[in-house]
Amino acid sequence: MSDSPDGQEGAPPLEIEVEGLRKTFGRREVLKGLSFSLERGGFLSIFGPNGAGKTTTLRVLATLLTAGGGTVRVAGHDVRDDPMPVRRTVGLISHNPMLYLDLTAQENLRFYGDMYGVDDREARITELLERLELSHRRHDVVRTYSKGMRQRLAIARAILHRPRVLLLDEPHSGLDPRAVDILDGLLTEIRDEHTFVMVTHNIAKGLEWGTRLMIVEDGRIVYERAAGVDPESFSAVYREHVQEGSVL
Amino acid sequence: MAILRKDLIRELRTREMIISMILFVLLAMVIFHYAFSVKEDADLTYFTGGMLWVTFIFAMLLGLNRSFAQEKDERCLDGLLLCPVDRVTIFLAKTAGNLVFLLIIQVVAVPVFTLFFVSRSYVGDLVPFLIVMLLADVGICALGTLLATISMNTRSRDLLLPIIFLPLIVPVLIAATGATTLIFAEGAGFGDLLARVLFLLGFDAVFLVAAYGTYDFAIGE
Amino acid sequence: MKQLVSAPVLFVGAGIFLVTGLLLAFLYAPIDASTMGYSQKIFFYHAPIAETALVAFGVAFVAAILYLRSQDPRWDRLGVVSVRLGLVFSLLVMATGMIWGKAAWGTWWDWEPRLTTFLLVCFLYVAYFVLRSVVEEEQRRATFAAVFSIIAFIDVPITFFATRFLPAGMHPTVITMGGTGMPGSMFVSFFISMIGMTLLLVALIRRDLAVEELKDRVADLKNSIGG
């Protein structure tokens, strides 16, 4: 978990290395050879139209899907040959909270804590619930939670085991403004400790957070560069690639 | 272990499952009674084994569908698959959970069915019966868990499960029903049951190994 | 799969063996002396068909294991083709068995171990196709079908064994531990029919495989046109 302090000199090590990633669903080739990498502590924002393969890429990184071709390494471990350390390294926040509705917040977190073998389970749960302003509801069944609260709990679930890499799949979608604020506040708080990959339709958020920007279209990377682009020109590029117009 | 505990907490919390299953068992008993009451004072002793195992298998179908429906509903299965645990561990935990579920049904069903249908006392033969029951249960749960994992990943989910599960479970049904009938009706001892007990043991072993080898694929990418 | 023998040669070979077997069955093998009489002749087709059906499911079983190891769609194709043919042969087993049963025992159906097993086999492999039909994504469909094919094939002998626990039936036990219990002339006819039937299976598998491959290519082409 703790980053070595002497990694200051030179470029930080690569946390994510993707080389020629391919994936087919039946006859449809969803990913047609993606290659990219991300250094430790980086924040990669992936944009693109629906069905471009963004979520598929994320699911391969999370070991939920096996790649059809190419190599994918997370924290130096091959996701296919050596998935266990990858799973310990990665946390996934998607629009599905992945919580058991009939369990309380505490029971959900205890369960995942056991699954990940978190040593200081109780302390960690208390700390996270505190941080996510859910302490007062920790003994309530998740079914009674609002969408925003579930999403917050989902974040707690995802970072419970102190993953070094956080994968975000459209984390802002479906959240009310208040929940977006909380999410952003939390991201700010944990920004320094993690490497991020975020799939999003939200250009403003993607540009705000990203240190690297990428547009995926039809299974290929059509645009990739370091952040620092001015939003106007990026929006233009984005529109060029995403014709649906259903932006934001 | 954590998975099993989580599933148990969930079941105990909602209670709907247990209650409806107990009702299901009692209703099955009543329905069997009417279905087989063909003449006055008919002795159903020889049919009790069959009735019990048919009830268990159909109740199991319902339980299996449920045990995975909830994982699928809120995408919890993804959460489970994200965890650094072997898929086989997930299989064992789910099998154990389903076994607990089946045992609860049996605790209710066996006394009730035998009280109403079996004419001779079988209390002395309880030990061989429990052994047969447990061995058959393990086979049913192992195979059922594997197949339920496949069926919940398909379009038709709960409709598919009986079609793939029932033909495969027939051997267990034959052996368990035969053994149960021998015990209830004739008070058979271990000697008479040996072939069936060994058969059930073999079935459990074969399908636990088969499930061990294929579960990674069954649970999907 | 290299074309060592062309499909027509296999079909012709199968035909020669099957016709020879049939002729031998009627002209060479003795008429069953015990109870069956002339109706016993159907045995020379019934048993080889049964054996061939099991071979087909065995091929599917091996193909399933190879598929899970390699994820190569060709093994999935072999699996589908074998199961389909195995199912056709199983239905023929049931049909010939019922005809024989009617002639020999005076009843179309008897719950005896082998017939019962084949009935379950039919259900099992029909279920295989039901399973395939409810999974859209091809890789996943192939994977699930392979897992099921493995489990089903393991279950067949177990089911057969379990049916022995049922009250006894009246199927003749022809091949026992001690030997075949057949006169030599009967055995020759039987054996030739068996070779013929197996050749027929191989020929059919190859033809069906070719058809499936064409179908896949058509689908690929359609896909590339459709974009």
Are B67 and B101 a contacting pair, CB within 8 Å? yes
Chain A touched by B89 (CB under 8 Å): no
pLDDT for the residue C84: 95
pLDDT for the residue C42: 76
Facing B178 at nearest CB: one of C123, C158, C165: C165
| Domain range summary for chain C, segments of one domain joined by + | 42-220
User: Of residues C194 and C38, which shows the higher confidence score?
Assistant: C194
Chain B touched by C155 (CB under 8 Å): yes
Mean per-residue pLDDT of chain C: 81
pLDDT for the residue C11: 80
- Which residue on chain A is closest to C226 by alpha carbon? A28
Residues of B in contact with A92 (CB under 8 A): 78, 82
pLDDT for the residue A8: 45
CA distance B147 to chain A (A): 20
**Interface list for A 16-35 with C (CB within 8 A):** 24-28
> Which of B160, B216, A65, C70 has its CA nearest to residue C79?
C70
Share of chain C above pLDDT 90, in %: 31
Task: Say if residue C156 is exposed, middle or buried (CB neighbours under 10 Å; 0-12, 13-18, 19+).
Answer: buried
Quick: pLDDT tens for A206-232: 888 888 888 888 888 888 887 777 777
Residue B14 has pLDDT above 80, yes or no: no
Quick: pLDDT tens for C111-133: 777 888 899 999 999 999 999 99
Chain A touched by C219 (CB under 8 Å): yes
ipTM above 0.95, yes or no: no
Tell me how many domains chain B contains.
1
pLDDT for the residue C3: 52
The answer to whether B84 contacts A87, with C-beta atoms less than 8 Å apart, is yes
Residue A204 has pLDDT above 60, yes or no: yes
Considering only A56-65, B33-42, C182-191, which range has the smallest mean pLDDT?
C182-191
Residue B118 has pLDDT above 70, yes or no: yes
pLDDT for the residue C13: 79
Residues of C in contact with B87 (CB under 8 A): none
Chain A touched by B70 (CB under 8 Å): yes
Q: What does the alpha-carbon distance between residue C128 and residue B167 come to, in Å, rounded to a whole number?
A: 11
Facing B171 at nearest CB: one of C140, C146, C155: C155
Facing B206 at nearest CB: one of C135, C152, C154: C154
Chain B touched by A180 (CB under 8 Å): no
Q: What does the alpha-carbon distance between residue A102 and residue B23 come to, in Å, rounded to a whole number?
A: 22
Q: What string of DSSP letters covers A203-217? A: HHHHHHH-SEEEEEE
Type of residue found at A220: R
Q: Which domain holds residue B108?
A: 2-220
Backbone dihedral region for residue A170 (phi beyond 0: left; psi -120 to 50: alpha; all else: beta):
left
Residue C166 has pLDDT above 80, yes or no: no
Q: What does the alpha-carbon distance between residue B62 and residue B151 come to, in Å, rounded to a whole number?
A: 13
Chain C touched by B146 (CB under 8 Å): yes
CA distance A25 to chain C (A): 6
List C-alpha distances in Å: B130 to B24, B28, B51, B109.
22, 21, 17, 13
Chain C touched by B178 (CB under 8 Å): yes
pLDDT for the residue A5: 44
Quick: pLDDT tens for C79-116: 999 999 999 999 999 998 888 888 777 778 877 778 88
Share of chain B above pLDDT 90, in %: 38
Considering only A156-160, A232-236, C125-129, which range has the smallest mean pLDDT?
A232-236
The helix-helix angle for C73-105 and C184-226 (nearest 10°) equals 140
Q: What does the alpha-carbon distance between residue B153 and residue C95 come to, in Å, rounded to a whole number?
A: 36
